[in-house]
Homo-oligomer: A and B are copies of this chain.
Amino acid sequence: MPMSVKLDDILSTLDSEFPQAQARLLEFLRIPSISTDPAHRGDVRAAAEWLCAELVGLGFDASIRDTPGHPMVVAHSPKGTRRPVLFYGHYDVQPVDPLELWTSPPFEPAIENTPAGPVIRGRGASDDKGQLMTFVEAFRAWKAVHGALPTDLVLLFEGEEESGSPSLRPFLRENADELRAGIAMICDTSMYADGRPAITTQLRGLLGQEITIRAADRDLHSGSFGGLAANPIQLLVNALASMKDATGRITLPGFYDGVPELTDELRADWQALGFDAADFLLRVGLKHPIGEKGRTALEMVWNRPTFEINGITGGYTGEGFKTVLPAEARAKVSFRLTGTQDPETILQAFHAHIRAAIPADCTVEFHGHGASPASRMNISDPAFAAAKQALSEEWGREAAYIGAGGSIPIAGDFKEILGMDSMLIGFARDDDRIHSPNEKYDLQSFAKGARSWARILAALT
């Protein structure tokens, strides 16, 4: 840490000003900024304006930037000699239905004592207004102590994250020079487990496809045609079953090209997490991990590619029975990708596999549902070690590098469009009920989250 940074003073300020920080977050949470609901369009803008005003008040050069959808809030601290850092969060929230399951009104947030400690209850408390405000409160305390903001900060807060971020990629492209930084901080994830801070350093990519197989030009009666006419459900089922061999490996030629083995460093970090696969499965009513032999559970979900059938439909599926040979059958499937697996190469191999299973008088049609490669951050960037150290000091536990089995598109977008890695650091808990009734954010997450960012800001120069 540069000798000039008064970290202890900043942390003390955060502690002493915490009641005011809570009040600000409650005010922010009272704005029902549901981005998917056109009736709340004005509320979404109001949340952007509230946030922008906060940032202007702190000395940021902040503005509301219109998009075809909901606006972005972009802010810059004064230019200096620090390595530029972008901070990303979102100020929109999920819908609240079913409303009757809330124990208190979702937009009348309050501090509530629970057996596990005090929480802030309300829609958006965890996802993502509470987390976003951990950034803002850290900046505020820094300003209070130093009389000026840290230099070279770029803030990007969007209002469409819960609606699929349709404006984000165009906005990044159009404002790439303005937004590009050395690294991005994303505060929209959870801690690894209660009390253990984590930095997500790799995310699986996603390749989604819909397949429609068509045989006869109408539904047929299986009494008249069964045994003679192709059944598109059987064709689909055969094609999908042969995607994996008996050991669970995906059979597409070249599929595993670019799939990396774990480094010793990450293997050790993941081992230390003490992940209990049996318990993880038991919580959803299962006992036996499936997938490739000889891989640990965390490897399977974080570092190995998968093929999953996410939906399938064909023929008669209502009550009772119909002896139909349907005209078509459909499936939605997805691959999770790791390392440098190329979505386009895999797409071509998948299409060839399916086509090879279809007779000449039947057809198959493909429809894409996204294709993004895996994200792997360069953890030899000293910022990672610095942030890990800062998190470990704040939480009193060794922070971990972890993976994520899912895709967080913003990280891929930053990499692809702005050429920068992201650090995904979040303080949400698994029981925060994000997207569900009675969302909450632990007061501890809010307090120590802001303190964590103060430490990270101090550690990055």
Contact = CB atoms under 8 A, between A and B. Distances in A.
A276 interface: no
A390 to B, nearest CB: 27
B317 A223 contact: no
Interface string A320-343: 111111100110101010000000
A194 B251 CA distance: 51
Nearest to A230: B290
B281 A228 contact: yes
A210 B321 CA distance: 8
Contacts of A231: 290, 308-309
Contact of A308 (B226, B244, B285, B332): B226
B315 A312 contact: yes
Contact of A227 (B229, B309, B336): B336
Interface string A299-313: 011001010111111
Interface stretch (A51-59, A145-153, A235-243): A235-243
Contact of A286 (B216, B306, B310, B320): B216
A361 interface: yes
Interface in A222-281: 222-231, 233-234, 237-238, 240-242, 244, 277, 280-281
A373 to B, nearest CB: 15
Contact of A329 (B227, B312, B332): B312
Contact of A360 (B221, B222, B287): B287
Given A210-B321, A216-B285, A311 B315 contact: yes
Interface string A200-223: 000010101010000111101111
A292 B228 CA distance: 9
A329 B291 CA distance: 19
Contact of A223 (B280, B332, B369, B404): B404
A289 interface: yes
Interface string A343-374: 00000000000000001111000000110000
Given A310-B316, A315-B332, A359 B290 contact: yes
A406 interface: yes
A313 to B, nearest CB: 4
A39 interface: no
Given A300-B227, A301-B224, A309-B233, A288 B336 contact: no
Contacts of A326: 310-311
Contacts of A224: 301, 405-406
A3 interface: no
B228 A284 contact: no
Most buried by B among A280, A289, A330: A289
Nearest to A334: B323
A314 interface: yes
Given A216-B286, A227-B301, A311-B314, A336 B222 contact: yes
7 contacts: A222-B336, A222-B405, A223-B406, A227-B290, A233-B310, A237-B309, A313-B314
